[in-house]
Amino acid sequence: MANSEFHKELTEANLCDLESIFGVKHVRSGSTYSFGIASTRLKNTIALDIIMEDGDNLISVYSENSHLQLQSCKAFIISQMLEEVIFYSDCGEKISGLIISKQGDCSLYANVDKKTLKTDFMNLNSEKLLSAVALSVIESL
On the question of pLDDT at 87 being above 90, the answer is yes
Is pLDDT above 80 for 3?
no
Q: pLDDT, tens digit, for every residue of 42-79?
A: 788 999 999 998 878 999 999 988 999 999 999 999 98
Query: For the segment 128-137, what is each residue's pLDDT rounded down to a tens digit?
Result: 888 888 888 8
Q: Is pLDDT of 5 > 60?
A: no
H or E stretch at 118:
helix 114-118
Taking the C-alpha atoms of residue 117 and residue 5, their distance in angstroms, rounded to an integer, is 21
- H/E stretch holding 16: helix 15-22
Annotated domain spans of the chain: 3-139
pTM for the model: 0.89
Q: What is the pLDDT of residues 7-41, one digit of tens each?
A: 899 999 999 999 999 999 999 999 999 999 987 77
Q: Report the candidate in 54, 24, 52 with the shortest Cα–Cα distance to residue 40.
A: 24
Instruction: Band the pLDDT of 4: cuts 50, 70, 90.
Output: very low
- Rounded to whole angstroms, how far apart are CA atoms 50 and 70? 10
Determine the pLDDT at residue 2: 44
